[in-house]
Structure 1
Amino acid sequence: MIEHLSYGYITLPIGFLVSMTGSALGLLVARHARRQEEAGRRALWLCLAAFAIGGPGIWTMHFVAMLGFNVVDAELLYSPALTALSALIAVAVVACGLLVIGLGRYSVPKLLVAGPLTGVGVAAMHYTGMAAISADVEMSDETSYMIASVAIAVVATTVALWMAWRLERTVSMWLAAAVMALAVNLMHYTAMMGVRVGGTISEEIHGVHSIELIFPMATLTAIVLLLLIFTVVTVPTAEELRTEERLTAIEHEMGPSTGRAR
């Protein structure tokens, strides 16, 4: 028998809150990226936004949810290498999507290209994480649920990319982050509902128990979130940037007059 909440409902709110926080921080960083005129600086901020959305926003939620996944009377081990690869995929595909719509002039055709590509990549992240499982029972995925999860991922990432490039108000971004977190959870559990278990296998399984990955995952997530929060707090607001520009303009206008007076 398959259990999706073997630790009770605790993994649901934890995964949702982490996902919402990462998504919100990513949207806030993306807002700052839009203010950059230089392509190199804009790309740097977009990559940082992808790190927030793809890391805590998507992958950490997947990992937390997988802690509750269990097959009764079966042993499940995880490959650390494939687990880490799934995290890299999540960040990379979100970065690609943000760079496609964020460099140059924003357009709907660019969004319609970036959204599906990113969505398929997020689904690839999920199934790479599933491939990291080594079990002493046969496991497979039902095609209809796989298709549904990919469709949800495509729609969710397309909306997320649109939000990242259009929203300005901080309150709106937090509400959007909650919607994004809900969509990520929906994609994950839709895919997991399609998991089927067969008979036992005689091959030796390799890897570590999920509980052994909690400490490094939690530590890394905490560090990333703290760095992102520090970045968002220290980034100047639009009003501060306008004030700085006005002061610079005033100093520029007063400079020649001061020189002549001397």
Structure 2
Amino acid sequence: MIEHFSHGYITLPLAFLVSMTGSTLGLLVARHARRHDRPGKRALWLSIAAFAIGGTGIWVMHFVAMLGFNIQNATLLYDPLETALSAVVAIAVVACGLLIIGLGQYSRLKLALAGLFTGVGVAAMHYMGMAAVSADVVLTHNRGYVVAAVLIAIVAATTALWLSWTLERTSMMWLAAIVMALAVNLMHYTAMFGVEVGGESGLDAHGAHSIDLIFPMATLTAIVLLVLIYTVVTVPSEEELRTEARMASIEEGFRSADRAAK
């Protein structure tokens, strides 16, 4: 028998909270990225936003939700390397999507292409994470649920990319983060409800137990969140950026006048 909430329903709100937090931080960083005209600086900030959305908002949510996944009378272990690789994929595909729409001229076609690429990549991340599960039973995925999960991922990714490009008000970003978190959780649990268990695999499970990964993952997530929060808090506001630009313009004017006087 498959259990999706083997530790009780606490994993569901916890996964949602982590996803919403990562999404909010990512949207705030993406807003700051839009304020820069130089492609280099914009790309840097968009990459940080991808780390928040893809790493915390999507992948950590997946890991937290997987803590509740269990199969009675079966052993489930996780390959640490494959699990880590799925995190890299989540961050990379979100970064690609943000860079596609964030650099150059924005268009709906670019948004659609970025959403398709990112959505498929996020779904691939999920199934890579599932491939990291080593079990002494045969695990398969119902094709109908796989298709549904991929479609949800594409819609969720497109929505997230569009919101990251358009939102300015902080209050609206919290609401948008709730929508994004709901979509990510919906995609995850849709895919998980499509997991089917066959007979014994005939192989011994290998890897680490999910409980053994909690402490390093919680520590890493806490550090990343603190860094992201510090980054969001310390970035200059739009008014501060305008003031800085005016001061730079005035200083350049004085230097030009000095050069002309000499």
Structure 1 and Structure 2 fold alike (TM over 0.5): yes
Which letter maps to 2:201?
A: I
- Structure 2 alignment gaps of length 5 or more: none
* CA deviations over 1:236-260 (Å, ceiling 9, x no partner): 0001112222333444556677999
Aligned partner of 1:159: which letter? T
> Amino acid of the residue matched to residue 200 of structure 2?
T
CA, structure 1 residues 246+202, in 2 after alignment: closer, same or farther (shift >3 Å)? same
Which residue of structure 2 lines up, in the alignment, with residue 172 of structure 1?
A: 172
- How many angstroms apart in 2 are the aligned matches of 1:122 and 1:257? 55
Residues 249 and 76 of structure 1: is their aligned pair in 2 closer, same or farther, counting only changes over 3 Å? Answer: same
> Where do 1:134-153 residues align within 5 Å?
134-153=134-153
CA distance in 1, matches of 2:113, 2:221: 30
Moved more, 12-21 or 120-129: 12-21
Residues in 1 aligned to 2:149 and 2:256: alpha-carbon distance in whole angstroms: 64
SS of aligned partner of 2:164: helix
1:170-200 deviations in Å (ceiling 9; x for gaps): 1111110111001000000000010001111
Cα shift readout 1:22-50 (whole Å, capped 9, x = no counterpart):
01111111111111111111111111110
CA-based RMSD: 1.7
Q: How many corresponding residue pairs?
A: 262
CA deviations over 1:201-234 (Å, ceiling 9, x no partner):
2212211110001011111111111100111111
Give the letter for the 1:169 counterpart: R
Q: Give the 5 Å matches for 1:120-139.
A: 120-139=120-139
Give secondary structure in 2 for the equivalent of 1:77: strand
The alignment partner of 1:9 has SS state of: coil
Q: Tell me how far apart the structure 2 counterparts of residues 260 and 21 of structure 1 sit (CA, whole Å).
A: 53
- Could you tell me how far apart the structure 2 residues matched to 1:103 and 1:135 are? 43
Q: What 5-or-longer segments of structure 1 have no aligned partner?
A: none
Q: Distance in 2 between matches of 1:185 and 1:68?
A: 13
Q: Secondary structure at the match of 2:9?
A: helix
Partner of 1:236: 236
User: CA separation in 2, counterparts of 1:253 and 1:189?
Assistant: 59
Separation (CA, whole Å) in 2 of partners of 1:89 and 1:57: 13
Matched ranges for 1:1-262 at <5 A: 1-253=1-253
Q: Percent identity?
A: 69
TM-score by length of 1: 0.96
Q: State the one-letter code of the partner of 2:102.
A: G
Cα gap change, 1:73/1:105 in structure 2, threshold over 3 Å: closer, same or farther?
Answer: same
CA distance in 1, matches of 2:256, 2:59: 55
259 and 208 in structure 1: CA distance in 2 versus 1, 3 angstrom threshold: closer
The two structures have a TM-score, normalised by structure 2, of 0.96
- SS of the residue aligned with 1:172? helix
Distance 2:250 2:150 in 1: 54
